[in-house]
Structure 1
Amino acid sequence: MQETSTAPQARDRVEGDASPRYRELEFGVRSIQVREAADGSFYVRSDRELAPHAQRMTDRLVHWAQATPDHSFIAQRERLAGGGTGDWRHISYAQALAAARSIGQALVARGLGAERPVIILSENDLDHALLAMGCLYAGVPYCSVSTAYSLVSSDYAKLRHVVETLSPGLIFASDAARYDKAVRAVLPADCEVVYRSSAAEAAPHTRFAELLATQPTPAVDAAMRATGPDTITKFLFTSGSTKLPKAVINTHRMWCANQQQIAQTMPDMAKGPPVLVDWLPWNHTFGGNKNLGLALYHGGTVYIDEGKPTAAGIAETLRNLREISPTVYFNVPTGFEYIACAMESDAQLRTSLLKRVKVFFYAGASLAQPVWDSLHRTQESECGERIVMGTGLGMTESSPSALFINRPDVRSGDLGVPVPGLELKLAPVDGKLEVRYRGPNVTPGYWRAPEATAQAFDEEGFFRTGDAVQWRDPQDRNQGLRFDGRIAEDFKLATGTFVNVGPLRAKIIHAGAPYIQDVVLTGLDRKEVGAIVFGTPACAALSGLGADATLEQIMHSAPVQQHLQTVLDQLAQTATGSATRIARAVASTRAPSLDLGEVTDKGSINQRAVLQHRADLVEGLYAENLPFVLKPKQA
């Protein structure tokens, strides 16, 4: 093997005199070490070693309860009797620890543990957080489950799978009126149900207030002391968009190591203490591990945002951001799109959001360049400087953060460099480089799934991610990596030509912004690449139709069809061959299905599941017997 180590090409801190000017932001990792193997693999590490860190997340709760007992850990707006929300209700670190000991005592008394864990069905709220802290303190694993499995799904298949996989001893839901139907559908015979608020004819249950009122004894403190780095903290289920979800084991070591890795790679995220205004659901590793963990590890505050990046839900998010100024702000691309639009005319929002934020950060789909440009224009107008838009790469199995950008001039698709303590293996697979992980933040495997666990790791113990990457600049590897799609999504045309789905999909979304939400590419064993286009909510306004218009009417309207036609024509002009030319496209008039695995509850569309369940649409696209099929005008 050949080993290279390159020196930093820039200062550790980006000053305000950069061009363009960015708000001061520290990057903790500026150079990497690369070993190249004879088989074409690369082994990549940060030049920084992982520093000593806490052994248990519980230790951080205890520390802050002693050091800053009155500081707010988590806050949520109070629900008003007539509907809506009022002022913020805060839970301090001292209150969170006291509640954790009481709840933990109740769990210990029930004999719960890894073989009989706790399942939480509720959305993000204060009781959800306190129950999670109680589980941590008592050493009882918990699993926050996607609310869509209970409230959107019609057959409860995924929820039933979660329950069968974990064999819970206790299921908690905030509101019996909303969750009782789902609970009754999947409830095992020996499982206790806990509701915060009751409802007529609900399943037999315990009130959450009883857990909170439990008197702690030395038994719960002994249970806490018995936990260690290898103790399971939680199970997080994968999205399950192609198969049934798998239960990813999360340990104290994983969570603590990853928070230390984040702090060393993006130090400004951990300074402050951090203040977050966050809606990202805790059943996802982004919201439940990274964001909630960021506050807990560094003594910060999470303001629970009950808004959503939707036309109906964004108003609450904007209300919260006008009132609370975060130090770091996380969202998905659709959320940033709404915020970018609102900031153009909302002076109060601009002032509050940009007051002290050190970095924006997105995950999920690609952020369209027009949205990026709009954010930068507003920031420069308001502050005279840009806010760095952070990106990276991670997954549920890596706690989640594996790579972060290490420079301010971020481009869509940039991933950055590995966090300290994590080794990457870039393994040649089907003409690409698959990135694989080995380090303290990587899961030991899937719960009760030994075969899936064995298949997930290669012969050297690296976790196979399925993500492909390439060097941002092969001549300067310190610039890090770029995303090169999902290996499993790529396919061959009938001509034998490979279609690189990830970059092409991102190119279409970028060209169609702000009206294209996602694209599923077709063409396996066919001569041409096709596309099924999913529109954004902005298509409704573009269509010019009224509020009662159906999705089919909106997507088939003349303005929307004309926009898609323009996008196809523009893309055809820059295509370099059959693998990069969209020869035909159709707008989807049916929303992706959660039950069929076409979409996750965070909005990520799965290519394979859509192609599987819409085979007739794909066939019609190529048989040319569908209405509203678009083709580029350029020959």
Structure 2
Amino acid sequence: MTTDSRYLVHRVEQETRADGTMLLRSGYQMSTPARVTGDWLHRWTEEAPDRVFIAERSGAGWRELAYAEVLEQVRAIGAALVGRGLGADTPILVMSGNGVDHGLLALAAQYVGIPLVPVAEQYALIHGAHGRLKHAVELVKPRMIYADDAARYAEALALPEIAALERLVSVNAEPGMVAFDELLKGDSGVDIDTVHAEIGPDTVAKYLLTSGSTSTPKAVITTHGMMCANQAQLLDALPFLGTKPPRIVDWLPWNHVFGGSHNFNMMLANGGSIYIDDGKPTPALIDRTLENLTMKAGTIWFNVPVGFGMVVDAMKSDEALRRSVFSELDMIFYAGASLPQDVWAAMEEMAIEVRGALPLMTSSWGLTETAPATMLQHEPTDRSGIVGVPLTGVTTKLIPDEDMRCEVRVKGPNIMPGYFEDPAKTEEAFDDEGFFITGDAMVFVDAGDINKGMKFDGRISEDFKLQTGTWVRAAGLRMEALKLLDGIASDLVITGADRKEIGLLIFPNMGALKKAGFEEDAADGALIGEHLKREIRHRLAERAGQTSGSASLITRALVLSEPPSMGDGEMTAKGNLNFRKVLTRRAEMLERLYDNADPAVITLKDS
């Protein structure tokens, strides 16, 4: 392999079929993966027993557990779970967020072959979202439920569907619940070595629920083999992971494949350390994140673009934070959306100031069904939005349209075997060659050089046709509209399927509107303040003057007064809109959007 100390140079092999379909593969061979995740834990307990693996905030400092401690506790918990009769057919559902005990339980379950089902903590903490929690319970039929704090999760723990199960809690246990400390006593009647030896690459490690952004959440079967293969693929592409133990200060939730499989396992596979950030990129919790980042310096920084933006804003006037963040930083890794170029440039400038060198700034592409990383930009680039090239062991099938926008399908050792107890959806998910049909679209950065990688270009399922037969690329148009309506829209839905014109259903950013002094008059589910309507009309009209063609011309908008409902499935746990659910639940508002006589509707015809 051609490498330097940080990355693998892109080398892509391409096969083009007679029908135009392209197959892309890495030009490098995939390394041999670990057999099961427990192999990583054993390796680093032998090689670095006193190195911190996992930590969380405790008072003014951190509760830290080293590899040897973690393995000892994982084996005890695993034996206790087996002794209580749990196994491959009795999943454990976790409804609280990231924490040391959550991590220990996850590793213990994997160690003895019990599937873990982490779900978004919002499902338990938000009364209106309990239906999502009940759906998860009905879908995977767990034997045990875990929550870190019985008092905080009291309402959810009291639900009849939950109360009928074995309820495991770390603190504030009530009668009838199992205290987490009880599991740490182990079970001398269980031969833990024999139990662990019986699991293998095909053993289920997790059932991960899809976000539900396009349909009802499905449970993705995630095996040890998938997760181990993905970490081997990532190490192939990023050899620096094997030369210095990585360390992260990370908030990304473990119910999502990025935080819980990609980031968590990257630390475990490479003998690294994960410090759990109990903050988040929200106004209420960002200060906690800034405190944590000042206390601990990571070598890799994972975040979503809005999170990077908030920290960058703070670092501009906080030299101590800036030096802590960049002092040992080898890689900046964004996901979820493209990183704004001004944030990218600011981080480059700060890195040069602090270290005199740039970290690798990158992103990748994948889904819950792909464990997740399948494509990765693993050599330096100077711009955001590129998801790179196939990882080792992956074959990417690209089906281009007339504009060379490609539907993406993938095959490899990190791809799921199917959805739990849903053979129909599983069959629909794969084509006749066994490629997973992702539903995503991509375009080449440079059609003349496939080694420059690819850019994500939306979901095929989000595209629609106007009555004229013109295709509308909704994902790209939505991002453009959000930028246009910055300070007004927190999110929006592109409309126009089988209609003459493209429209917007806008969820307003109420905090920004108040700050800007816009009126907030509401009537019949819509905001009707004249100042707000004039501003939106003005921005749409300005854009219309620079737009040609009906495929991207937005001619009407309606500002909704009711925020998206997680309980009704309009919003996923990741904060993404389920566009179909919004359009279905708000069918009346959609019809109003195309009624020129409705006084709440904003149209260019009025400008």
**Secondary structure of 1:503's match?**
helix
Per-residue deviation at 1:511?
4.1
Instruction: Name whichever of 586-595 and 244-253 sits farther off.
Output: 586-595
Equivalences, count: 605
2:579 is aligned, of 600, 604, 607, to 607
In structure 1, what is the equivalent of residue 266 of structure 2? 294
In structure 1, what is the equivalent of residue 457 of structure 2? 484
Q: Does 1:152 align with 2:106?
A: no
Q: Does 1:100 align with 2:74?
A: yes
**Secondary structure of 1:178's match?**
coil
Note if contact 1:392-1:403 (Cα within 8 Å) is conserved in structure 2.
Answer: yes
Using structure 2 for the length normalisation, give the TM-score.
Answer: 0.92
Q: Structure 2 CA distance, aligned partners of 1:408 and 1:248?
A: 32
1:587 is aligned, of 551, 555, 559, to 559
Q: Structure 1 CA distance, aligned partners of 2:422 and 2:45?
A: 38
Q: Does 1:184 align with 2:164?
A: no
2:292 is aligned, of 301, 320, 323, to 320
Q: Does 1:508 align with 2:488?
A: no
Distance 1:123 1:482, change over 3 A: same
Note if contact 1:161-1:244 (Cα within 8 Å) is conserved in structure 2.
Answer: no
In structure 2, what is the equivalent of residue 141 of structure 1? 115
2:21 alignment partner AA: S
Distance 1:91 1:427, change over 3 A: same
Q: Structure 1 CA distance, aligned partners of 2:109 and 2:230?
A: 20
Using structure 1 for the length normalisation, give the TM-score.
Answer: 0.88
1:55 is aligned, of 23, 35, 60, to 35
In structure 1, what is the equivalent of residue 313 of structure 2? 341
In structure 2, what is the equivalent of residue 21 of structure 1? none
Per-residue deviation at 1:631?
4.6
**Secondary structure of 1:94's match?**
helix
1:234 is aligned, of 199, 202, 206, to 206
In structure 1, what is the equivalent of residue 104 of structure 2? 130
2:90 alignment partner AA: R
1:530 alignment partner AA: G
Alignment of 1:449-528 (within 5 A): 449-513=422-486, 516-528=489-501
Q: Does 1:43 align with 2:15?
A: no
Instruction: Name whichever of 584-593 and 603-612 sits farther off.
Output: 584-593
Per-residue deviation at 1:340?
2.2
Note if contact 1:153-1:594 (Cα within 8 Å) is conserved in structure 2.
Answer: no
**Secondary structure of 1:591's match?**
coil
Q: Does 1:161 align with 2:135?
A: yes
Q: Structure 2 CA distance, aligned partners of 1:365 and 1:559?
A: 31
Note if contact 1:539-1:554 (Cα within 8 Å) is conserved in structure 2.
Answer: no
Alignment of 1:525-564 (within 5 A): 525-535=498-508, 539=512, 542-544=515-517, 564=536
Note if contact 1:102-1:216 (Cα within 8 Å) is conserved in structure 2.
Answer: no
Q: Structure 2 CA distance, aligned partners of 1:274 and 1:557?
A: 52
**Secondary structure of 2:13's match?**
strand
**Secondary structure of 1:154's match?**
helix
Per-residue deviation at 1:516?
4.5
Per-residue deviation at 1:507?
2.3
Q: Structure 2 CA distance, aligned partners of 1:542 and 1:67?
A: 55
Distance 1:190 1:555, change over 3 A: closer
Q: Structure 2 CA distance, aligned partners of 1:572 and 1:630?
A: 14
Distance 1:170 1:303, change over 3 A: same
1:225 is aligned, of 194, 197, 200, to 197
1:420 alignment partner AA: T
Q: Structure 1 CA distance, aligned partners of 2:281 and 2:600?
A: 29
Q: Structure 1 CA distance, aligned partners of 2:55 and 2:339?
A: 29
1:54 alignment partner AA: A
2:144 alignment partner AA: L
**Secondary structure of 1:172's match?**
strand
Q: Deviations over 1:464-493 (max 9, x none)?
A: 100011211111111111112101110011
Q: Deviations over 1:363-401 (max 9, x none)?
A: 113333343344445445555555443122101010010
Q: Deviations over 1:513-532 (max 9, x none)?
A: 57654331011111111122
1:208 is aligned, of 180, 199, 202, to 180
2:262 alignment partner AA: K
**Secondary structure of 1:623's match?**
coil
Per-residue deviation at 1:567?
4.2
**Secondary structure of 1:524's match?**
coil
Q: Deviations over 1:541-596 (max 9, x none)?
A: 742589xx999999877886676456434432432311112212333433221122
Note if contact 2:526-2:559 (Cα within 8 Å) is conserved in structure 1.
Answer: no
Distance 1:633 1:249, change over 3 A: same
Per-residue deviation at 1:626?
4.7
2:446 alignment partner AA: D
Q: Structure 2 CA distance, aligned partners of 1:482 and 1:67?
A: 40
Q: Does 1:275 align with 2:255?
A: no
Q: Structure 2 CA distance, aligned partners of 1:555 and 1:315?
A: 32
Instruction: Name whichever of 202-211 and 523-532 sits farther off.
Output: 202-211
Q: Structure 2 CA distance, aligned partners of 1:599 and 1:188?
A: 23
Per-residue deviation at 1:448?
1.0
Note if contact 1:29-1:417 (Cα within 8 Å) is conserved in structure 2.
Answer: no
In structure 2, what is the equivalent of residue 356 of structure 1? 328
Alignment of 1:307-456 (within 5 A): 307-380=279-352, 386-428=358-400, 432-456=405-429
Distance 1:459 1:324, change over 3 A: same
1:599 alignment partner AA: M
Per-residue deviation at 1:540?
5.1
Note if contact 2:488-2:513 (Cα within 8 Å) is conserved in structure 1.
Answer: no
Listed as ranges, the gaps of 5+ residues in structure 2 are none
**Secondary structure of 2:14's match?**
strand
Q: Structure 1 CA distance, aligned partners of 2:511 and 2:341?
A: 16
Note if contact 1:539-1:560 (Cα within 8 Å) is conserved in structure 2.
Answer: no
Q: Structure 1 CA distance, aligned partners of 2:247 and 2:188?
A: 31
Q: Structure 2 CA distance, aligned partners of 1:373 and 1:472?
A: 20
Distance 1:554 1:610, change over 3 A: closer
Note if contact 1:180-1:203 (Cα within 8 Å) is conserved in structure 2.
Answer: no
Note if contact 2:129-2:566 (Cα within 8 Å) is conserved in structure 1.
Answer: no
2:569 is aligned, of 597, 619, 625, to 597
Question: CA-atom RMSD, angstroms?
Answer: 2.9
Q: Structure 2 CA distance, aligned partners of 1:54 and 1:484?
A: 34
Distance 1:42 1:514, change over 3 A: farther
Identity of paired residues, percent?
Answer: 40
Note if contact 2:206-2:221 (Cα within 8 Å) is conserved in structure 1.
Answer: yes
Per-residue deviation at 1:234?
1.0
2:88 alignment partner AA: A
Instruction: Name whichever of 187-196 and 560-569 sits farther off.
Output: 560-569
Q: Structure 1 CA distance, aligned partners of 2:9 and 2:508?
A: 38
Q: Does 1:27 align with 2:7?
A: yes
Per-residue deviation at 1:628?
5.5
2:590 alignment partner AA: V
Note if contact 1:29-1:47 (Cα within 8 Å) is conserved in structure 2.
Answer: no
Q: Structure 1 CA distance, aligned partners of 2:15 and 2:121?
A: 44
1:368 alignment partner AA: P
